[in-house]
Amino acid sequence: MASPELDQAIALFRAGKEETQSFTTVEDFRVWYEQFTGQFELPEDAVFEQVGAGGVSAEWISTPGVADDRVVMYLHGGGYMIGSMRTHRSPLSYLSRVSNARVLGLNYRLAPEHPFPAAVEDSVAAYNWLLEQGVSPGRIVIGGDSCGGGLTIATLVALKYFGYPLPAGGISHSGWTDLAHTGDSFVTKAEEDPLLDKEMLEGMAAAYLGDRSRTTPLASPYYADLSGLPPLLVQVGTAEVLLDDSLRLADKAKESGVDVTLEVWDDMPHVWQAFASFLPEARQALESCGEFVKKHTG
């Protein structure tokens, strides 16, 4: 049974979606998202340090006593158009603690100013920077939520293609992995999802991809060759239109020989992990991520 706090989380999403209906510019959405996530409490002992990661604006997020040589490189959500590491400080502080790792959050370039493949280029550059800093690939996990979950898989595919040593694993929270939007859950979950809908995502996909095919593998990694990827943890809720993006990605990865852990969380909305400051299920999901990180990084 879902916790009582879930109603609060869903109400916040529904109110946020209603509030943004009148927005006409990307900047309106960016300002709103910063304010929306700014209400989530931060742990007093979390440390935030700005850094340049191979030319990419980034932020180290850590909590006391974590292993300096274990890193989660994190790619935030926001439809490739909004969001930053400031919008994700609350859940990533908790992820740092439960993973016993430093989190390197990337402020990758956003559309429409910087369309595909800018985000992929930035994530590859930041990963290469970590290697140059002496971090072992076996001590790195790449993760992300929503578009950042899709970008996580795309980054792993790109790293494999370019011959980089692969990280120890990848984590996807409610990943947006098919920008062609062919999953049945866009219909079957339309009423349940308190935040996303197909029309919203169509606009974001157009801003990111422009005239490129929606099935471009490094934008829609569901269509990529997933063989040879490191272990994956895929988390998704049953109350989101992107449910099939995770289910089908996990199935294809398994069929390609990838070690996949799929967690389907009953009644959870899109990226419920964001509510770690008050939602028990968010903390539980992040604790599972922490166990995954520790298991695969030694």
Question: What CATH number does residue 26 fall under?
Answer: 3.40.50.1820
Q: What is the pLDDT of residue 287?
A: 99
Active site residue 270: yes
Kindly give, in sequence order, each residue whose CB lies less than 8 Å from that of residue 292, ignoring residues fewer than 6 positions away.
141, 169, 171, 231, 233, 261
Where residue 95 falls among pLDDT bands split at 50, 70, 90?
very high
Average pLDDT over residues 226-244: 99
Catalytic residue among 240, 246, 281, 288: 240
Active site residue 146: yes
The range of the structural domain enclosing residue 50 comes to 5-297
Q: What is the pLDDT of residue 1?
A: 78
Residue type, 166: L
Tally of domains in the chain? 1
Alpha helix ranges (H) inside 117-215: 118-132, 147-162, 185-188, 198-209
Where residue 7 falls among pLDDT bands split at 50, 70, 90?
very high
> Cα separation of 62 and 67, whole Å?
9
- What is the pTM (predicted TM-score) of this model? 0.98
For 172-188, write each residue's pLDDT tens digit.
Answer: 999 999 999 999 999 99
Which two structure tokens, joined as six digits, stand for 95? 């992820």
Where residue 97 falls among pLDDT bands split at 50, 70, 90?
very high
Q: How far is CA 171 from CA 4, 80, 148, in A?
A: 27, 18, 10
Helix axes 89-99 and 280-297, enclosed angle (nearest 10):
50
DSSP letter at 125 equals H
Q: What is the pLDDT of residue 220?
A: 99
- The C-alpha torsion from 49 through 61 and 233 to 134, rounded to 10°, is 50
For 35-76, write each residue's pLDDT tens digit.
Answer: 999 999 999 999 999 999 999 999 999 999 999 999 999 999
For 198-227, write each residue's pLDDT tens digit.
Answer: 999 999 999 999 999 999 999 999 999 999
Catalytic residue among 84, 270, 288, 296: 270
Where residue 87 falls among pLDDT bands split at 50, 70, 90?
very high
Active site residue 181: no
Catalytic residue among 93, 146, 172, 288: 146
